[in-house]
Every structure is written in structure tokens, then in C-alpha cells.
Structure 1
Amino acid sequence: MSSPPGPPTNRAPSNTDLETTVAELKQVVETFVDERDWHRFHNPKNLVMSLAIETAELMEHFQWLTPDQSTRIMEDPDTRTAVGEEVADCLAYLLALANKLDIDLAPTLRAKMIRNAEKYPIDNNEFTHK
């Protein structure tokens, strides 16, 4: 969490985001993997490598853009779909990894954000513009 913050979105989460739990998302991924008998391939090493590959595919959409262009990337409907699919692929691999390693994501993220807040206090934020 050492990069500068992006522009504020000022958007409320969608109703779907508000109504869907992390557990439900983890179950969607687990069901998908089960139905295809992919557990034999889903070891932590393969999942982390797959996540890195999907992250690289997401990065391709931003590779040659200026910072300003990158903030407007979702204005094009086709690009919005493509970027959304790559983000979903990244999330699916993160959820599969959490399933495989039995990581309870909500408390793990909350604990990490507390440590991040201690490491990067608001009053000592080099990226804060006043």
C-alpha cells in the first residue's frame, strides 16, 4: 500500500456488491472448480502463477496509457468489458487460492488494513495533497 491513491470514484457500491458476501463468491469459484475436477491442478504454486499471469493480462490494458488516460479507460464499453473480465479472472484466482489455503478473507483483510494504517498514518502521508 505504498503507491499514491488514485482519483476518488465517489461511487457507492452497487446493490450486487452490497448483497453478495465473500463466502458466496468463494463458493461460486469452488463450485466451478469442482464441476471441472480442477482441484488436481489447483495447488498454491499453480494458483499464484495463474494470478500473476492474469494480473499481467490486466496490466496490458494500461501499459502505454498516460495516467490521465488510465483514469478514463472505462469510458469505452468494449474496454470496460475486457478490463472487467481481467479483474474478475484475478479475483477468481485470489478466491481459489483463499479456498485452497483456508484463508478467511474478511478478517484477514481487516487485520492487514489495521497494520497498513499503523505503517502509513494519515498525518504522515507523503501522498496527501492539501
Structure 2
Amino acid sequence: MDKLKKAVNDFRDERDWRQFHNEKDLAISISLEASELLELFQWNTSEETIKNNLNHVEDELADVLIYSIMLASNLELNIEEIILNKLKKNNQKYPVSKSKGTKKKYTDFNIE
């Protein structure tokens, strides 16, 4: 992950773009790029989009990830650590015994 973070930051720094990448604008950019990814699936099945637009899906997903890496870098967050922490929280909200094979939200599990 460090190598990837360095590559993203080097690309940005070589162009002196860090000055434009404040946290608010990076969060907005993540949302915009996620919308572009979503648009590829609009009016298609998942299978159709993957068959006909996989390269575009890769590009838009990469944009979401790049902006996410930049935001984490700006905030000095350890990406691996925050993902693992979130998975721990999700594991508590979605125990296997209650969530396996279902799409129910954790609030519908009636966990006491």
C-alpha cells in the first residue's frame, strides 16, 4: 500500500496539484467519480456493463481509489488500519450467525 500511496502522491506532486486537493474537494471528487462509475451500469445489467465497458469500469474505479488515497494521505490516515478497523465494526454489526446468506441490514437482526 505504501508503494501505491507514494505513486499517487508523486504523480500529484510532480504537477503541483496538492494545492488544489483539500479534503472537501477530494471528498467531492470521490463522489463525482463514484457517480461516473455508477453511470456505466445505468440501464444495463451488471453482466452487460462488464462485457461492454470493463475498461471504463476499471478507469472509474481507479479514479475513486486514487482520490481516496489522496484524501487518506492528506489526513495522514493509515489505509490498511482504517479498513481493518471498519471490518471489525462490520463484523460486530453483521455476525455470520445473523447475516450469512441474507441482505438484511443489521438493524433488522433484532440483536439484543
TM range (shorter): 0.7 to 0.9
Counterpart check, 1:110 vs 2:84? yes
* Alignment gaps of 5+ in structure 2: 104-112
Alpha-carbon shift at residue 126 of structure 1 (Å)? 6.9
Q: Deviations over 1:41-82 (max 9, x none)?
A: 0100010001111000000011222xxx21453223xx1111
Q: Deviations over 1:16-56 (max 9, x none)?
A: xxxxxx11111111001101101110100010001111000
Residues matched between the structures, number: 103
- Which residue does 2:106 correspond to in 1? none
- Which residue does 2:57 correspond to in 1? 83
Amino acid at match of 1:57: E
Amino acid at match of 2:38: M
* Alignment gaps of 5+ in structure 1: 1-21
Higher helix share: 2
Query: Structure 2 length normalisation: TM-score?
Result: 0.85
What is the alpha-carbon root mean square deviation over aligned residues?
1.6
Query: Structure 1 length normalisation: TM-score?
Result: 0.74
SS in 1 for 2:12: helix
Identity of aligned residues (%): 37
